[in-house]
Amino acid sequence: MELAIISGKGGTGKSSISAAFATLEKNVLLADCDVDAANLHIIFNPTHEEEEVYIAGQTAIIDYTICTNCGICKDYCRFDAIHFVNNRIEISETTCDGCQLCSRVCPCEAITMVDNDKSRMYSGTFRNGKMVYGRLAPGEENSGKLVNMVRAKVKAIAKSNGLNNIIIDGPPGIGCAAISSITGVNNVLVVTEPTLSGLHDLERTLELVTKFNLKAWVLINKFDLNPDMSLQIEKRCANLGIDIAGKLPFEPVFVDAMVNCKSVLEWAPESAISKELKLIWSRINAPQA
Ligand code: SF4
Ligand code: SF4
């Protein structure tokens, strides 16, 4: 079973839930596809068996020993990445999109394109199986492609190690990285919380999941903080024909576990929340009619 856990927005408890599922059974293959803010490696401290560079596009740089400061490149940059700063032409690393146009129009050939090579993909072993995670360096882009790279690695490791239980901690939102995280999985668990913005983001996320014709589940985290809104979410899901996988109460033990680099199932296995998570896992894994 390949389960992707996503959310419409950050801070819903998605990664804590992914961590809990990753410690329910042995021989799990865990993929942290939240590449802009990967954090499961902090909890699980996996061995680093492989490290691969991810080239996240290119950035233009100027050779000032050649540049005549003519400003032609500035006129062509449609990303507004080139400016005169103290009368000298400069390219903003963070704004440059890597389109290469300036390097083509520069009459002096003073601009070269360099790879953005700070992002990485790591794979290794953690206490319950294998783990793959991507880390996009600050300012680097194309997170969806890095997620694709993580997913391809997961597929290869699953095949060579005979692992069937794959858990993907996806990114929040409905962008390219989220799409890359859910493509081709058996189940998608959308984690939400009972707020108006939670409901709004859930609607957008479910729209995305149903477009891909994937089996979707919804988990309402901290449902007891706003029972009326939780009920509204349940009704909305019923209207859409989406199953509620379960509801978790607000429980500080969840945070305590993460602070101590454990999943809640490891930290407080007898807690009500751990028991509910086990039920949710078995619901999702039960053969579907
Ligand atoms: S076009 Fe080339 S020479 Fe002119 S300012 Fe830009 S980098 Fe310098
Ligand atoms: S590569 Fe493209 S985006 Fe970057 S500075 Fe040159 S023209 Fe602008």
User: Could you give the CA distance from residue 163 to residue 26 in angstroms, rounded to a whole number?
Assistant: 10
| Residues 6+ away with beta carbon under 8 Å from 275 | none
Would you say residue 282 has pLDDT above 90?
yes
Q: For residue 191, report the distance from its CA to the centre of ligand 1, in Å.
A: 50
Q: For residue 51, report the distance from its CA to the centre of ligand 2, in Å.
A: 30
Q: What is the pLDDT of residues 227-246, one digit of tens each?
A: 999 999 999 999 999 999 99
Would you say residue 288 has pLDDT above 70?
no
CA–CA–CA angle 53, 132, 263 (5° rounding): 140
Would you say residue 4 has pLDDT above 90?
yes
Q: Which residue is closest in CA terms to ligand 2's atom 5?
A: 96
Atom of ligand 2 nearest to the CA of 92: 5
Query: Which numbered ligand comes closest to the C-alpha of 108?
Result: 1
Q: Which residue is closest in CA terms to ligand 2's atom 2?
A: 99
Counting ligand 1 atoms within 8 A of each CB, the residue from 59, 103, 111 with the most, and so the one to mutate, is: 111
User: Could you give the CA distance from residue 279 to residue 159 in angstroms, rounded to a whole number?
Assistant: 28
Would you say residue 125 has pLDDT above 90?
yes
pTM for the predicted model, two decimal places: 0.87
DSSP 31-82: EE--TTS--HHHHH-----EEEEE---EEEEE-TTT-----HHHHH-TT--E
Is 81 near ligand 1, meaning CB less than 6 Å away?
no
Q: Which numeric CATH code is attached to 2-55+121-285?
A: 3.40.50.300
Query: Which numbered ligand comes closest to the C-alpha of 93?
Result: 2
Q: Is 145 exposed, middle or buried (0-12, 13-18, 19+ CB in 10 A)?
A: buried
CATH 3.10.20.310 fits 58-115, yes or no: no
Backbone angles phi, psi at 175, to 5 degrees: -80, -170
pLDDT of residue 233: 96
pLDDT of residue 138: 84
Q: What is the pLDDT of residues 86-121, one digit of tens each?
A: 999 999 998 999 999 999 999 999 999 999 999 999
Atom of ligand 2 nearest to the CA of 111: 6
Domain boundaries, the chain: 2-55+121-285, 58-115
Is 70 near ligand 1, meaning CB less than 6 Å away?
yes
How many residues does this entry show for the chain?
289
142, 56 contact by CB (below 8 A): yes
User: Could you give the CA distance from residue 101 to residue 250 in angstroms, rounded to a whole number?
Assistant: 52
